Amino acid sequence: MSKNRCFQFSRAITRSPAPTVVDGLRDGDGSDPDFTTFQTQHKAYIAALEKAGVKLTRLPQTAKFPDSVFIEDAAICLQDAAIVLRPGAPSRFGEAEFLRPVLEQHFSKVIDLPGDGTLDGGDVLLTNHHAFIGLSERTNQAGFDALASILLQFDYQSIKVETPSDILHFKTDCGLLDEGTIFATKKLAATGCFSDYRVIEVPEGEEAAANIVRINDVVFLSSNYPNSKKLLQKSGYNLVTLDISEPAKIDGGLSCMSLRF
Ligand code: GLY
């Protein structure tokens, strides 16, 4: 096991957005993303991944699955194995199976989530030793049980969290800063789930900044959150800020646009 398997990565997989991304799922009836701007922002995200030191596998767009750019919801990649998930939204059911052949090219061990539970990767935050798994509209108890039993084989202890009902995914409201520190909204931190970790709370009014992602020496943060930027810089983190206004319109964030391993 590498010292920090939770943020030291040499590879990542992304999928380009398809024009159908404008039909992506969203909470409420917000405006559609602009496809061209989405593409531009996705390209900047990819460039930042490469600059952070990961070798990318870039998958082509697939119009059949509008949300497939949010590739993290379909699988979990560990150091030595990948787990094919079962996303919980009907329009996303087929995404994981569609991704499976790509995972087979990268991993000698590809494990299907057993049973019929549902689970989105956006509900799973891995640290070196723990897997925080949020129950949500997308992830149910059966999905938790199935994933927890697989992750035990890889030395992760799973911690179940009841994600507050107005939060789409567990990681909508948190992200890993380093092996012992979580950036989390006040609301999520109040659940007490991170009691073994240092928590840096997202500044009030900037809750949408919570979904950061740590990759090697850098932390990706959404741009336009000046107080979060100041706070994290003051705390010693090396930041890359990225404009993700278009993914955000369909509840997409920084972590969900790649699988890292
Ligand atoms: N649009 C991202 C999701 O709802 O899965």
pLDDT tens-digit profile of 41-55?
999 999 999 999 999
pLDDT value at residue 48: 98
Q: Give buried/exposed letters for 100-117 (b at 16+ CB in 10 A, else e).
A: eebbeeebeebbebeeeb
pLDDT tens-digit profile of 91-110?
999 999 999 999 999 999 99
- Rounded to whole angstroms, the Cα distance separating 60 from 215 reads 23
Architecture of domain 11-260: 5-stranded Propeller (3.75)
- Rounded to whole angstroms, the Cα distance separating 16 from 257 reads 9
Evaluate whether 134 touches 121 at the Cβ level (below 8 Å): no
pLDDT value at residue 97: 96
Q: Catalytic annotation on 169?
A: yes
pLDDT value at residue 28: 86
Which ranges of the chain have pLDDT less than 50?
none
Nearest-CA residue for ligand 1 atom 3 is: 25
Domain limits of the chain?
Answer: 11-260
Residue with tokens 């979060």: 228
pLDDT value at residue 67: 98
Ligand 1 touching residue 22 (CB < 6 A) = no
Helices (H) and strands (E) in the chain, counts: 6, 15
Rounded to 5 degrees, what are φ and ψ at 212?
A: -90, 170
Of 7, 5, 2, nearest to 216 (Cα)?
Answer: 7
Which residue among 6, 130, 169, 193 is the active-site one? Answer: 169
User: Residue 86's beta-bridge partner residues?
Assistant: 119
Nearest-CA residue for ligand 1 atom 1 is: 25
Q: Model pTM?
A: 0.97
Q: Catalytic annotation on 129?
A: no
Q: Is 111 helix (H, G, I), strand (E, B) or coil?
A: strand
At 217, the amino acid letter reads D
Span from the CA of 67 to the centroid of ligand 1 (angstroms):
6
Ligand 1 touching residue 246 (CB < 6 A) = no
- Rounded to whole angstroms, the Cα distance separating 246 from 224 reads 13
Which ligand 1 atom minimizes the distance to the CA of 66?
Answer: 1
